[in-house]
C-alpha cells in the first residue's frame, strides 16, 4: 500500500517538474494553431490574440512608458525555454508598463513571454528600419543563467545523469 502512494506522489512531483513556466490560466487563452511566423508576417491581423513566444534578449530600454525589450525569437521546448541552436523567426518587442532592471533583463538572457499581440512598430536597426511584432506581457519568465539548458535527473543513491532539455 505504501508503494502505491509513493508511486503516485513521485508521478505528481515529476509532472510538476516538467510543466510549463507559463500558468495554465494564461495557456488556456492561447490559440495553439497560431504560429510565430504568422504573427511576424501580419501582426495587425492578430491584435488581441494571446501568444507564447520564447527568445533571447537583444536589448532592454527603460522609457517613460515602461520597459521595452527587444528579443530574437527561437522555437521553445516543451517547458517554453528558447532553443537557440534552432533557426530564429526574427525579432519582436515586448512592451511592459512596469520598470524592469536592465542589469537583470540584459542581452543574452533567455525569456519566455505570454502576451497579447498589440500590432507592430518600426524601429531602426543599424541603417535600416525593422518592423517588429509587439507583445504586451501577461506573464514573463526569465530563465536562470548557468544551467546550460540541463535538468539534473538522479537515480538511486547519488547516481545521476543530466538530461538535455
Give the tens place of pLDDT for each residue, 46-72: 999 999 999 999 999 999 999 999 999
pTM of the model: 0.78
In a domain, 10, yes or no: no
Distance CA(10)–CA(107), nearest Å, equals 37
Higher-pLDDT residue of 113 and 10 is 113
In a domain, 60, yes or no: yes
Q: Which three cell numbers stand for residue 35?
A: 504560429
**Residue 4: predicted pLDDT:** 53
| Domain count for the chain | 1
Q: Do 122 and 94 form a contact (C-beta atoms < 8 A)? A: no
In a domain, 146, yes or no: yes
CATH of the domain at 144: 2.40.50.140
In a domain, 5, yes or no: no
In a domain, 135, yes or no: yes
Domain that holds residue 49: 20-160
Q: What is the pLDDT of residues 91-101, one digit of tens each?
A: 999 999 999 99
Amino acid at each position: 500500500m505504501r508503494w502505491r502512494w509513493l508511486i503516485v506522489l513521485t508521478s505528481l512531483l515529476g509532472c510538476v517538474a516538467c510543466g510549463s513556466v507559463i500558468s495554465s490560466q494564461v495557456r488556456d487563452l492561447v490559440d495553439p494553431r497560431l504560429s510565430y511566423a504568422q504573427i511576424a508576417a501580419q501582426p495587425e491581423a492578430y491584435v488581441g490574440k494571446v501568444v507564447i513566444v520564447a527568445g533571447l534578449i537583444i536589448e532592454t530600454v527603460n522609457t517613460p512608458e515602461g520597459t521595452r525589450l527587444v528579443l530574437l525569437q527561437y522555437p521553445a521546448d516543451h517547458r517554453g525555454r528558447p532553443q537557440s541552436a534552432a533557426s530564429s523567426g526574427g525579432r519582436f518587442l515586448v512592451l511592459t508598463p512596469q520598470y524592469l532592471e536592465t542589469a537583470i533583463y540584459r542581452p543574452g538572457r533567455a525569456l519566455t513571454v505570454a502576451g497579447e499581440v498589440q500590432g507592430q512598430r518600426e524601429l531602426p536597426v543599424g541603417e535600416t528600419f525593422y518592423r517588429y511584432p509587439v507583445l504586451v506581457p501577461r506573464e514573463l519568465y526569465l530563465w536562470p543563467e548557468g544551467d546550460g539548458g540541463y535538468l539534473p535527473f538522479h537515480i538511486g543513491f547519488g547516481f545521476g545523469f543530466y538530461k538535455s532539455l
